[in-house]
Structure 1
Amino acid sequence: MGLPPGEKDTVRGAVTIRFYRAEDREGVRRVCADTGFLGSPIDPVFEDRELFADYLTSYYTDKEPESTLVCEAEGRIVGYLTGCRNFRAKFRYHAFHNMGLFLRALMRYPFYRPASRRYLHWLLWKGWRETPRSLPSVPHFHFNILAPWRSVSRTRQMIDLFLDYLVRKGERAVCGQIVVFDRRRGEKMFERYGFRVIDRAEVTKYADRFPGSVYLCTVVKDLRENPRLYGSHSLSDE
Structure 2
Amino acid sequence: MRIRPFHETDRDALRQLFVRAGEGSPTESLWGHPESEAGIYLEPYMDHEPESLFLAEDDGALVGYLTGCLDTAAFLSEEQRIADAIRRHRLVLRRRPAAFFARSALDAAAVALRRDPSAGEIRDPRWPAHLHINIAPEARGTGAADGLMHRWFDRLTATGAPGCHLQTLVENTRAVRFFERMGFTAYGPTPLVPGLRYRGARVHQRTMIRA
TM-score interval (norm. to shorter): 0.7 to 0.9
The answer on whether the counterparts of 1:86 and 1:139 sit within 8 Å (CA) in structure 2 is: yes
Name the aligned partner's letter for residue 24 of structure 1: D
Superposition deviation, residue 220 in structure 1: 0.7
Matched residue SS, 1:214: strand
2:207, 2:77 → 1: CA distance? 22
The answer on whether the counterparts of 1:198 and 1:219 sit within 8 Å (CA) in structure 2 is: yes
Superposition deviation, residue 100 in structure 1: 3.7
Which residue of structure 2 aligns with residue 60 of structure 1? 45
1:81, 1:219 → 2: CA distance? 16
Which residue of structure 2 aligns with residue 38 of structure 1? 25
1:26, 1:153 → 2: CA distance? 24
TM, length-normalised to structure 1: 0.69
Residue 16 (structure 1) aligned with residue 2 (structure 2): yes
Matched residue SS, 2:143: helix
Gaps of 5+ in 1: 1-14, 223-238
Superposition deviation, residue 147 in structure 1: 0.5
1:170, 1:18 → 2: CA distance? 21
Could you report, residue by residue, the CA deviation over 1:101-160 in whole angstroms, capped at 9, with x for unpaired residues?
232343x533x23x3322233456657975255234310111001101111632112101
The one of 64, 82, 96 aligned to 1:79: 64
The answer on whether the counterparts of 2:165 and 2:210 sit within 8 Å (CA) in structure 1 is: yes
Structure number with the higher helix fraction is: 2
1:195, 1:93 → 2: CA distance? 22
Name the aligned partner's letter for residue 64 of structure 1: E
Name the aligned partner's letter for residue 182 of structure 2: Y
Name the aligned partner's letter for residue 210 of structure 1: R
Superposition deviation, residue 213 in structure 1: 5.5
Could you report, residue by residue, the CA deviation over 1:53-95 in whole angstroms, capped at 9, with x for unpaired residues?
1111122110100001111234332211000013243137974
The answer on whether the counterparts of 2:64 and 2:145 sit within 8 Å (CA) in structure 1 is: no
The one of 216, 227, 238 aligned to 2:205: 216
Name the aligned partner's letter for residue 29 of structure 1: R
Which residue of structure 1 aligns with residue 14 of structure 2? 28
TM, length-normalised to structure 2: 0.76
Which residue of structure 2 aligns with residue 198 of structure 1? 187
2:156, 2:70 → 1: CA distance? 8
2:138, 2:26 → 1: CA distance? 11
State how 1:131-146 maps to structure 2 within 5 Å.
Answer: 131-132=119-120, 134-137=122-125, 138-146=128-136
After the TM superposition, which of the residue ranges 134-143 and 86-95 deviates more from structure 2?
86-95
* Greater RCO, CA 8 A, separation 6+: 2
Gaps of 5+ in 2: 112-116
